[in-house]
């Protein structure tokens, strides 16, 4: 692993919803459980988890799910947060429940909360693990996690098999990890319906933060922006005056929380042996075949 101390323990923290949604969209709904309900996302997510366990062989792992699409603490700050997203259909909600069961049956800690998102659960787990001198590998392609990356934390885009550390964040986004939340607040995020400052994109946000270091410093010294040697400096300065409050609000939304209610002990994240009884019952219900069961048996050998 690039940049990490190989001698210290490390935990794999999985942004589960990303991989559930990918399976939901990429696998036809031809797979059904014993009651005839679609389980295509569960089949795809189970294969993903087995791939992860076989490749990484983690000693510690947590699978983190989103259950706060309308009840996140961010909705209290900004009611329109993620308001442009459609809620998952009942068939997918049912499959999410199965995915949580599969992860637990395979011996991994499952984290979920109705107030905190998966990002916050992962951020809080990173901080909890750090008190035990345990590093973390965040399994996700989401750029928001860049703010958590550091000397003991890496990010892994599992599908592309690409890993990066703090230096990789700078190469990818143009800012350092401690600037990522400010960077996202300036740009805004159409997917999460975070407003940001209109007209400021990634390149401009990176230039501004390279000069001012933080969003707070930028807003305090915004009169200087008009004199910067950058294209459209006067217009950018004007936007900073007009939308300063929105930028501050956006910053409250982009920051990953580190105080979510997650387990604090290292043993809480230790991977357990697969629960053969639970797997037998669950896999029968999901109609998962002999090849998948054989892969599970191989994990325990």
pLDDT (0 to 100) of residue 67: 87
User: Does the domain spanning 10-172+256-270 belong to CATH 3.30.2310.20?
Assistant: no
d(CA 103, CA 95): 12
Mean pLDDT of 10-35: 96
Domain ranges of the chain: 10-172+256-270, 177-254
Query: Percent of the chain scored above 70 by pLDDT?
Result: 97
Cα separation values, 220 from 189, 224, 238, 240, 248, Å: 23, 10, 14, 10, 12
Query: How far is Cα 281 from Cα 265, in angstroms, rounded to an integer?
Result: 30
Q: Are 144 and 19 in contact (CB under 8 A)?
A: no
Q: Which pLDDT band holds residue 142 (cuts at 50, 70, 90)?
A: very high
Task: Return phi, psi of residue 203, to 5°.
Answer: -65, -45
pLDDT at position 2 is 47
What pLDDT, on the 0 to 100 scale, is given for residue 1?
41
Question: How sure is the predictor about 8, in pLDDT bands with cuts at 50, 70 and 90?
Answer: confident
Rounded distance between C-alpha atoms, residue 12 and residue 155, angstroms: 10
Mean pLDDT of the chain: 95
Are 295 and 42 in contact by the 8 Å Cβ rule? The answer is no
Q: Using CA atoms, how far apart are residues 36 and 90, in angstroms rounded to an integer?
A: 14
pLDDT > 70? residue 236: yes
CATH fold of 177-254, please?
Answer: DNA polymerase; domain 1 (1.10.150)
Task: Report whether 290 contacts 216 (CB < 8 A).
Answer: no
What per-residue confidence (pLDDT) applies to 301? 66
N residues, the chain: 301
CA nearest to 88, candidates 21, 33, 32, 23: 21
pLDDT 10s digits, 81-103: 999 888 899 999 999 999 999 99
**Mean pLDDT within 163-184:** 97
Residue 4 predicted with pLDDT over 70: no
Beta-carbon neighbour count of residue 247 at 10 Å?
23
Residue 160 tokens read as 């592309």
């Amino acid at each position: 692993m690039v940049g990490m101390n190989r001698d210290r323990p490390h935990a794999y923290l999985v942004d589960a919803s990303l991989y559930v949604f990918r399976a939901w969209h990429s696998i036809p709904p031809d797979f059904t459980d014993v009651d005839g309900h679609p389980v295509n996302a569960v089949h795809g997510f189970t294969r993903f988890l087995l791939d992860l366990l076989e490749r990484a062989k983690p000693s510690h792992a947590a699978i983190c799910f989103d259950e706060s699409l309308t009840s996140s603490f961010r909705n209290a700050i900004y009611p329109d947060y993620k308001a442009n997203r459609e809620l998952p259909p009942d068939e997918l909600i049912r499959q999410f429940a199965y995915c949580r069961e599969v992860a637990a049956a395979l011996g991994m800690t499952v984290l979920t909360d109705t107030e905190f998102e998966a990002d916050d659960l992962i951020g809080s787990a990173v901080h909890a693990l750090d008190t035990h001198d345990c590093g973390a590998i965040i399994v996700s392609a989401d750029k928001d996690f860049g703010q958590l990356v550091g000397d003991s934390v890496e990010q892994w885009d599992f599908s592309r098999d690409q890993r990066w550390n703090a230096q990789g964040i700078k190469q990818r986004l143009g800012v350092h990890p401690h600037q990522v939340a400010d960077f996202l607040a300036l740009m805004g995020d159409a997917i999460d319906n975070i407003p940001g400052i209109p007209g400021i994109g990634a390149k401009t946000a990176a230039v501004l933060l390279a000069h001012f270091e933080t969003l707070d410093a930028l807003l305090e010294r915004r009169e200087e922006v008009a004199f910067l040697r950058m294209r459209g400096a006067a217009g950018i300065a004007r936007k900073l005056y007009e939308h300063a409050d929105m930028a501050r609000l956006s910053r409250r939304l982009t920051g990953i929380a580190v105080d979510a209610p997650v387990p604090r002990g290292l043993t809480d994240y230790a991977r357990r042996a697969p629960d053969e009884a639970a797997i037998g019952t669950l896999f029968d219900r999901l109609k998962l075949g002999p090849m998948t069961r054989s892969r599970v048996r191989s994990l325990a050998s």
